[in-house]
Structure formats: C-alpha cells, structure tokens
Amino acid sequence: MGNSPQLEIIICTSNEERCIANLRMTLERCVTNPAVTIIGDECELDPKRFVVACGGRAEFWQTRSSPTRTGPVASLQRGYEISTAPILAFIHDDVEIYEAGWDAAVLEEFQRPGVGVVGFGGALGLGTDDIYKTPYRLQQLARLQYGSNAPDWQTHGHRFTGSREVATLDGYCLIVRRELLDKIGGWKVMQTQFHCYDTALTLYARRHGYKVRQLGIYAKHCGGGTSVKDGRYAEWLKREFGKTDADVHRESHDWLYAEFKDVLPVRVNQ
C-alpha cells in the first residue's frame, strides 16, 4: 500500500444497489486516492461487489454490515470509530457528484486556518432573530438564505458556485476534520438520532472555534431514498420506540433549542 490517504469517504446505507452506483460515480470523479468505508444499516453488504465498484480507485477500503437497523447517527458514529483518515467525508448513499476533482477541492479548503466542516449545500443564517426572545416554535430553527450548485438549485434557494463561510450545512454531504469529532466526543453525543445532526455538527464546530465552509460543487442529493423516507424506517421507529417520524423530528429540534443557546442564532456576512 502507498501513503495513507488524507480523505476518507464514509457512506451509510440500507440499499446496496443504490450505494454501489453512486460510489462508483463519486470515485470516478476523484483525483486523489481516498479511503472508503461503507456502513450497512439493516443491510448485509457484499465486500466483493464494492471492490469492483471501487474499480481500483481506492487502495484503502472496508465494509461493515448490520442486519438490524440502528439509525443514521449511530451508523455515522460507527464509521467514525473505524475510520483512519484526518478528513472524513460523510456522504448520503443517494448523492450524485458530477464535478471532477471535488476531493482535491475539499482538501484544499481544509488548508484554510480553522476549518472544521465543509459541505456542498449551505445557508448564511441559522435561527430567526426572535429565537429565545419569544415563545419557542420549530420555525425558529430555520435555515436562512440557503444555496447550492445542485442541478435543481431553484427549488431550494439560490445558486452558489464558489467557496464561502456559512452558518450551517445540509447533511447530505458533511466533510469533517477528525479532530473536531474527537473534541466533541463523536456523533454519539448528539441527542438527534434521526434528524438535525447536520445542524448540531455545525453548531458544535462554532462552539469549539472552528469555521464552517461551503464549496459550490456540482452535485445532487436525489432525496427520497434515505432512511427517513423509507417505509421500513417508519415501521422500525414505531416498533422499537413507539414514535412517529414527526415525534423524533420535534424531539431533535427541542434538544437543539435547549443545547445551543450560547451559539444561536448564527449569521454570516458576505
């Protein structure tokens, strides 16, 4: 094996076919040699198929299967625990990255002083001006002035193609300095097992003095295929916890509201 990679791609999946297709696309557009870790959530992975999917682009790779569902944050934690690189790219299995050299651009972004998290979709504001001043409501944790370079950017906000500091990031692609996760205790500290872990991560970053940056990489979060929209997810949530998706969505927001009074609201001036 050659030198250890600086970047490790971590994908948590409950759909091997979808994961393999998008992993192949992601790696074809890499110009470095990232490590790859695939975490199966209620999914038995076939390591040989992922070797083929890597197509020789990844010298360092590993898979971990789980026949039972654990939820997204628990899967992210497992990926963090077994990964080795200093920069960890947590990418949803339904993300298509079209831009060649995205990995090199990410590593270059982390050369900026103090950068803790980088993503492809970001907002300049997080939390309304009246948060903590009026009775609490979910809308007070809204993302403001969201932008991306996705093909369907018009449906989400404005188009952004450069590099900038942002208030928060969309969770479909969270690229994190390992040092930050080490400091906060990993993903497991978050009381957001199913929602809002992207918001929590960026707020932890700010609390610890790290910068949050967005790269306008041409990529699409296909959506509708993640565990939140998966019928098996709803069944599991009801069976194991006696809750609906709306229940845990509210619980996650309640925790964010109480936990990050020292950070919210966040505004980034351009």
Mean of per-residue pLDDT scores for the chain: 91
pLDDT of 226 higher than 80 = no
Domain boundaries, the chain: 7-267
pLDDT band for position 102 (cuts 50, 70, 90): very high
Q: What is the DSSP string of 96-150?
A: EE--TTHHHHHHHHTTSTTEEEEESSEEEEES-TTTTTS---GGGG-EEEEEE--
Of 111-125, 187-201, 202-216, 255-269, the poorest mean pLDDT is in 187-201
Residue 90, strand partner residues: 10, 174
| CA atoms within a 13 Å half-sphere pointing along the CA-CB vector of 66 | 18
Per-residue confidence (pLDDT) for residue 230, from 0 to 100: 66
Q: CB count, 10 Å around CB of 86? A: 16
Reading the block at residue 26, the tokens are 């992601």
Q: What is the pTM of this model?
A: 0.93
* Main-chain phi, psi angles of 243, to 5 degrees: -130, 160
DSSP element (H, E) containing 177:
strand 173-177
Q: In CATH, which of 3.30.70.270, 3.40.710.10, 3.90.550.10, 3.40.50.620 is domain 7-267?
A: 3.90.550.10
